[in-house]
Amino acid sequence: MTEDRRLPPALAAVAECAFDYDDGIDFEPYTEFSSVEDTRSWIRSWTGNQELDGSEFRVFGQDGTGGLAMFWTVREGADLVDQPVVFFGSEGAVGVVARDLAAFLWLLADGLGPMEVVEHADADPNPNEELRDVAEKFAADRRQSGVDVLADVRREFPDFEATVTAWCR
């Protein structure tokens, strides 16, 4: 049996969108999830902790420096699209970006990418019409501003950075 690396339809639609760093979002979506082996290797390297297997993460994109965006499968029994989206920067910054895929779509539609909201808390929204169309197609009933997306997720997961720091060796 092979691992399923197919993206959910909404993320596959995001991967078809054009991202231009000059427009404010430094994000390069993947066309499939990273492999189990690549994710394990990455988390061990990032944390220095060889005991971690990375199984709670599904990596689906990166920024231009190599920081990674992914689902964090912390909600037991929840579907993948209902798991929070997190970001691990190439220089050590970490943060929860959105409470689920729908919220992540609206964050992108507002012109905010994972790296921007974690590494540049004062990043200004720059709405993106193509990404708004994707959000409306897949999450019309969950519309919210990027500011609200971030407020929600930070209330729900205030200790994510401390959790990640505890994994580091």
Helix axes 101-109, 146-156, angle to 10 degrees: 140
The mean pLDDT of 77-87, rounded to a whole number, is 97
Question: Full-prediction pTM beyond 0.75?
Answer: yes
Given a cut of 50, is residue 148 above it in pLDDT? yes
pLDDT category at 127 given cuts 50, 70, 90 is confident
| Integer Rg of the chain from CA | 15
User: Per-residue pLDDT tens for 7-32?
Assistant: 999 999 999 998 877 767 899 999 99
pLDDT category at 1 given cuts 50, 70, 90 is very low
Mean pLDDT, all residues of the chain: 92
User: Per-residue pLDDT tens for 62-81?
Assistant: 999 999 999 999 999 999 99
What amino acid occupies position 69?
Answer: A
Rounded Cα–Cα distance for residues 123 and 24 (Å): 9
List strands edge to edge, sheet with 68-72. 28-29, 57-62, 68-72, 85-88, 94-98
For the chain, percent of residues with pLDDT exceeding 70:
98
